[in-house]
Amino acid sequence: MSDANKTTDVVAPADAPVVAPEPITATAPATEPAAKPEAPVTTAITSATEPTATATTTTAAPTATETTGDTKPETENEASPLAQLWEAAKNHGHPEIWGVPLADPANHIPSQIVFQKYLNANDGDLAKARDQLIKTLDWRKKSDPLDLVRRMYSKSKFEGLGFVTTYVVDGKEVDEPEEREIFTWNIYGGVKSIDETFGNLEEFINWRVALMELALQELNICGAIKPITADYDPYKLFQVHDYKSISFLRSPPHVKSASAETIKVFAQNYPELLKEKFFVNVPAIMGFVYGFMKLFVAPKTIKKFHPMSNGANLAKEFAESRIKGLGEKLPAEYGGKGGELKAVGKEPFLTAE
């Protein structure tokens, strides 16, 4: 998420129930008509009618009521929302989202998680979820974020500005998503030259996307073993934006452009990935940043944002985490007892130039 002097990455929220894909019932072959039938007679598996007079030698197929207790036949038009999003993805052709190879959500949990997040982000509105999904596929096909995360970025422009940290129960590798917390850190107070870092908008967005994709690798949706619902989704990130030593009174146009573009990109293409977002070491008023956020971010997401004037209080925010002592694992400058971000965090690849 980004903006230099004030940027935010966003994730639109929403709730929608998971509906398992419904199998499509087949239609039994037409029965052979008796001599001189008035009209062809067919008997479908889902039909509950008795054999007709012109097909008295044919035994009626078991009805849906007899076999499943379901009195309503299923059709292709009644495919579940997840199945319809999968169909839209297949028709588009781009094979992945967030590094997850897309497949049938009925039997591929990582894909179920991706599609369900798009439904949740749009309050279960299938048409809106499909539209956002297609736009994400278009963007990923054009921008190729999986390539961006492998690229090298200018050390002089971006060193020390973005990190990803992972904290787990007892410091061990775990499979349960609830026992792992992923943080992305944007340290905008560390910007050496505003013109250098934000002057090239495309380069800045590419670096910022690379940082997000690095965090998604740590989140490991590809290895997920639990499906999500509208109410249960542990596959989300904490985000921290540190504005220490940054003036909010004067922001060059290219900084504002970087902030606005970052918000647009992340709101559109990374829905339902934000757990909570902390803006630390900021003045009481962040009118410029929040003005942009209100344009592109859903109200429920805005509620996840927490501005804090003193970054040293951040550790106190995680007392209820399932990871015991999570706050203490954070760096000392944020109220914890852990190592510095440069020592324990991961950055996008950097090169001398």
Q: What is the pLDDT of residue 352?
A: 75
The whole-model pTM stands at 0.75
Q: What is the pLDDT of residue 78?
A: 77
Q: Higher confidence at residue 298 or residue 12?
A: 298
pLDDT for residue 277 is more than 90: yes
Q: Higher confidence at residue 219 or residue 291?
A: 219
pLDDT for residue 305 is more than 90: no
Residue 127 exposed, middle or buried by CB count within 10 Å (0-12, 13-18, 19+): exposed
Number of other CB atoms surrounding residue 297 within 10 Å: 23
Q: What is the mean pLDDT of residues 84-104?
A: 98
Q: What is the pLDDT of residue 68?
A: 38
Alpha helices in the chain (DSSP H): 64-67, 81-92, 109-121, 126-143, 145-148, 155-158, 194-198, 201-219, 253-269, 287-296, 299-302, 326-329, 341-344
Looking at 169-250, which runs of residues are DSSP E strands?
180-187, 237-242
pLDDT band at 252 (very low <50, low <70, confident <90, very high): confident
Q: Higher confidence at residue 134 or residue 57?
A: 134
Contact 25, 74 (CB under 8 A): yes
Q: What is the pLDDT of residue 306?
A: 85
Alpha helices in 144-239 (DSSP H): 145-148, 155-158, 194-198, 201-219
pLDDT band at 29 (very low <50, low <70, confident <90, very high): very low
pLDDT for residue 230 is more than 80: yes
Q: Which amino acid is residue 107, in one-letter code?
A: N
Q: Which amino acid is residue 260, in one-letter code?
A: A
Q: How far apart are the first and last CA of the chain?
A: 23
Residue 37's nearest CA partner among 50, 59, 51, 55 is 55
Taking the mean position of all CA atoms in its chain, how far away is CA 162?
Answer: 20
Q: Which residue has the tokens 């199945």?
A: 83
Give per-residue pLDDT as tens, 113-170. Answer: 999 999 999 999 999 999 999 999 999 999 999 999 999 999 999 999 999 999 998 7
Q: What is the mean pLDDT of residues 224-231?
A: 96
- CA-CA distance, 97 to 137, in Å (whole number)? 7
Question: Of all residues in the chain, what percent carry a pLDDT higher than 70?
Answer: 70
Q: SS3 of 292, please? A: helix
Q: Higher confidence at residue 108 or residue 11?
A: 108
pLDDT band at 302 (very low <50, low <70, confident <90, very high): low
Q: What is the mean pLDDT of residues 178-182?
A: 92
- CA-CA distance, 239 to 119, in Å (whole number)? 22
Q: What is the pLDDT of residue 165?
A: 98
Q: What is the pLDDT of residue 58?
A: 39
- CA-CA distance, 19 to 14, in Å (whole number)? 16
pLDDT for residue 62 is more than 90: no
pLDDT for residue 183 is more than 60: yes
For 161, phi then psi, to 5°, come to -95, -20
Return the ∠ at Cα 179 (arms to 98 and 122), rounded to 5°: 40
The size of the chain, in residues, is: 353
